[in-house]
Amino acid sequence: MAHRRTAVASARVVAVMAALTLLLVGLVPTTAPPAQAAKPSVKITRSASKAVAGAAVKISGTVSGGKAKQKVTLEVKTPGGAWTKAATKKLNAKKRVAFTVRPALGTSQFRLVTTVKKATVRSKAVKVTVSPKVTPTGKVFAGQTVKVSGSLPTAVKRTVRLQAHIGKKWQTLASRTTTAKGAFTFLVQANVSAKVRVQAPKATVKKKKLAAFTSPTVSISTRAQSAKVVVDKQACTNQPLKAAVTSTSISAKRGVQIQLAAPGGAWRAVAKGTTTASGSVQVSFDAPAESGVYGVRAVLAKSGKVPAVASAAVTVDVADCGGPPAPEPPVVASGGHHTCALTASQEIWCWGSNQHRQLADTDTKDRITPTKVRTSVKFRDVAASNYLSCGIDTNSRVLCWGTYDPPTVSSEWNTVRATPTVESGSLKFSKVAVGQYQVCGIAAAGQAWCWGMKKTGEAAGGGPYAFSSPVLVPGNRRYVDIVATQNRTCALTTAGDRWCWNGIGPADTYNDPPKQQPGSITFDSFSESCGLTAGGKAYCWGSDYFGQLGDGPGGPASSAEPVEVIGGHTFRTISSVGGLGGTACGLNTQSRLVCWGYGGFGQMGGGKIVSYNSPYVLPTTLTFKQVSVGNRHVCAVRDNSLSVYCWGDNLRGQLGYGSIGGVSATPNQVLGL
């Protein structure tokens, strides 16, 4: 019983002690253990992992636990080297720091080092891999010179090699010694795309052993240059040609040579030009003086570090087309009631009737003295008809001004050209002839082309047909000379045969293909109704109503076949117009004027209104180099003073000597040329 009381008492004591303990816990505050201080640290927050030699690399970092203006050191470890001090800076107010370095080739490591509370703190290292620098960057032209540069991790003089990975193995392209700071520069031609690197073999410098070093690789990408030249495939000897050159753009102008090679011969330069920045240019040159198949190519010059490049060769078939040589200025062309002359300065001046702007002057008033055709274009030949004038410029284009015969043909297309207008399209012409309704010419390959208007009722019904651009005359013949009359065109082949057609000539338009003219005589040159053989004999055809065949009295009234002109004259050149009122004039070997045929307006030049059926030598001491017979007047160019003389009808001032009206039966000098 006593034992039980003791146990109860003990339990009560324990309960009381527990209650007191809880009470005390509630009354006495508890305290947490002190926090441990944060450990100072350095962290690199920004750095490039790759760079090219010489490029600036920025390395930035922060320091936790540091203070503003606290010093931080950037350390570097180059390939095969130890950690070394690179630079020291102070923290800014935000406890940040930034370094700019230009690492050497290879993979270098960088870390930041500082001291916080006497303890050295280092950041984790970052790696920066540096490759050799290639200039220029991007793709380069094959064969272009490129520069490969950089610096080795060891700042001493030592051998370094430039290597390229070609054919599945590394090949050494060049070798040299670096500067005392380990810098190097290589200049090499990049002929193909390849990876390159620099490699320095083991070396001992000042008793210090240097390990071999191989840089990271860098790629050089090349692209091919291209050049192309286009010329006419056929040409006559000495004929002006034009080479159209296109090439890869290098964003700069560069010189270009047009080169020619005879069969089995070497290349020789015949012309020069300069491309545009886009790489194109057109260069004019003359075909060779001898026939043959020639190679033509364009060679673009070196520009800076971009190498020269040559186009693939094309060929041009050059033939001796025969025919009269190209006239040397001055050249005169007599039309219906106006006259034009090509001067030595390659300008065209016209005078006489300007009713339909055939003088290309500012109004439609007639001119009694020459006025310059309003254009800056330079010409090398001129032709004239009733109301139209045309010229071939120095680029072999045909330009015309005036209009086709307006009294008999009307068309929306037959407009008046107030100034010279290009009508030959992309074709190049060596000869041009102007008729009443049509313009025809001989192009580079000796083909005949025509355009204009054709009143075709008499030929095939319907019409008129209008052709605003050149139409090829069928027949696959090569021509050397061409003339155009009222509604008829004739051309002389390389064999000396005459072929004629009505108007423009495309067979599928009005069933009138060229027809060979009768007669066995072959000609070296010809005009509308007369021609000259290679020996200088004159023959004429057509009407003989006023003696224009030049065969004397008692001849036929007309002849489709050529009839020999009597008198035993040898001529250098001849000009004529046909029809009932036909007139012919030629220059003999003494440069004297000889005329025959119709002289109702004084065209015989001897001071009388008279016609002759046999050659008449003008009674003048003047000598000439070229003559042009118009519808009612004649003009000629002096051979020494190069002045122009005209005679015949002066109804519209076409004689050019300062008056209008009447006729002049003797040559008068044109004023103002």
DSSP string computed for 34-53: PPPPPPPEEEEEE--SEEET
Q: What percent of the chain has pLDDT over 90?
A: 62
One-character DSSP codes across 570-586: -EEEEEEE-STT-EEEE
Q: Please give the distance of CA 219 from its chain centroid, rounded to a whole number.
A: 34
Residue 404's closest CA among 369, 361, 455, 441?
455
Residue whose structure tokens are 């519808």: 631
Residue whose structure tokens are 């109704």: 529
* CA–CA distance, 535 with 521 (Å, rounded to integer): 12
Q: Peptide bond before 240: cis, by omega within 30 degrees of 0? A: no
- Cβ-proximal residues to 264 (8 Å cutoff; 6+ apart), any chain: none
* CA–CA distance, 223 with 146 (Å, rounded to integer): 13
- Cβ-proximal residues to 557 (8 Å cutoff; 6+ apart), any chain: 543, 544, 545
- Size of the chain in residues: 673
Q: Of 437 and 439, which is predicted with more confidence?
A: 439
For residues 303 and 552, the answer to whether their CB atoms sit within 8 Å is: no
Mean pLDDT, all residues of the chain: 86
Adjacent-strand bridge partners of 195: 219
**Residue 113: pLDDT over 90:** yes
* CA–CA distance, 591 with 622 (Å, rounded to integer): 9
Reading phi first (left if > 0) and then psi (alpha if -120 to 50, else beta), residue 348 is in beta
Judged on CB neighbours under 10 Å (0-12, 13-18, 19+), 169 is: exposed
Q: What is the pLDDT of residues 359-384, one digit of tens each?
A: 999 899 999 999 999 999 999 999 99
- Cβ-proximal residues to 249 (8 Å cutoff; 6+ apart), any chain: 277, 278, 279
* CA–CA distance, 514 with 497 (Å, rounded to integer): 12
The conformation of residue 303, written as its DSSP 8-state character, comes to B
Reading phi first (left if > 0) and then psi (alpha if -120 to 50, else beta), residue 200 is in beta
Residue whose structure tokens are 């008829």: 488
CA distances from 518 to 435, 532, 542 (A): 22, 16, 11
User: Which pLDDT score, from 0 to 100, does residue 249 have?
Assistant: 84
Strands (E), 27-158: 41-46, 50-52, 57-64, 71-77, 84-90, 96-101, 106-116, 119-122, 126-131, 133-135, 140-141, 144-151
* CA–CA distance, 130 with 149 (Å, rounded to integer): 12
* CA–CA distance, 102 with 57 (Å, rounded to integer): 6
Adjacent-strand bridge partners of 434: 439
Adjacent-strand bridge partners of 184: 150
For residues 204 and 210, the answer to whether their CB atoms sit within 8 Å is: yes
Q: How confident is the model at residue 326 (pLDDT cuts 50, 70, 90)?
A: low
* CA–CA distance, 131 with 43 (Å, rounded to integer): 26
Residue whose structure tokens are 């046909």: 578
Reading phi first (left if > 0) and then psi (alpha if -120 to 50, else beta), residue 269 is in beta
Strands (E), 142-266: 144-151, 159-166, 169-177, 183-190, 194-200, 203-205, 208-210, 213-214, 218-220, 222-223, 227-230, 234-236, 240-247, 255-261
Say whether 15 sits in a helix, a strand or coil: helix
**Residue 456: pLDDT over 60:** no
Which residue type, as a one-letter code, is found at position 221? Answer: S
Q: Of 609 and 330, which is predicted with more confidence?
A: 609
**Residue 279: pLDDT over 80:** yes
Residue whose structure tokens are 């284009």: 397
Task: Identify the sign of the CA torsion 171, 173, 176, 179.
Answer: negative
Say whether 195 sits in a helix, a strand or coil: strand
**Residue 29: pLDDT over 60:** no
What residue ranges define each of the domains in the chain, with the CATH number in brackets? 41-129 (2.60.40.730), 134-223 (2.60.40.10), 227-319 (2.60.40.1930), 321-517 (2.130.10.30), 520-646 (no CATH)
Residue whose structure tokens are 């050019």: 656
Mode of pairing for the β-strands spanning 234-236 and 314-319: parallel
- Helix (H) or strand (E) holding 454, with range, is strand 448-454
Q: Of 18 and 309, which is predicted with more confidence?
A: 309
CA distances from 204 to 78, 81, 183, 208, 301 (A): 18, 15, 18, 5, 47
Judged on CB neighbours under 10 Å (0-12, 13-18, 19+), 156 is: middle
Residue 429's closest CA among 183, 175, 240, 180?
240
Q: How confident is the model at residue 6 (pLDDT cuts 50, 70, 90)?
A: very low
Q: What is the pLDDT of residues 384-436, one digit of tens each?
A: 999 999 999 988 899 999 987 654 444 544 578 889 999 988 888 889 999 88
* CA–CA distance, 39 with 422 (Å, rounded to integer): 89
Least confident window among 17-31, 217-231, 248-262:
17-31
Q: How confident is the model at residue 325 (pLDDT cuts 50, 70, 90)?
A: low
CB atoms within 10 A of CB 226: 12
Say whether 298 sits in a helix, a strand or coil: strand
User: Which pLDDT score, from 0 to 100, does residue 466 have?
Assistant: 63
Say whether 2 sits in a helix, a strand or coil: helix
Q: Peptide bond before 464: cis, by omega within 30 degrees of 0? A: yes
Q: How confident is the model at residue 7 (pLDDT cuts 50, 70, 90)?
A: very low
**Residue 16: pLDDT over 90:** no
Q: How confident is the model at residue 161 (pLDDT cuts 50, 70, 90)?
A: very high
When pLDDT is averaged across residues 52-60 and rounded to a whole number, the result is 92
Residue whose structure tokens are 């599945």: 168
Tokens of 548: 């224009």
Residue 182's closest CA among 208, 156, 218, 220?
156
* CA–CA distance, 56 with 410 (Å, rounded to integer): 78
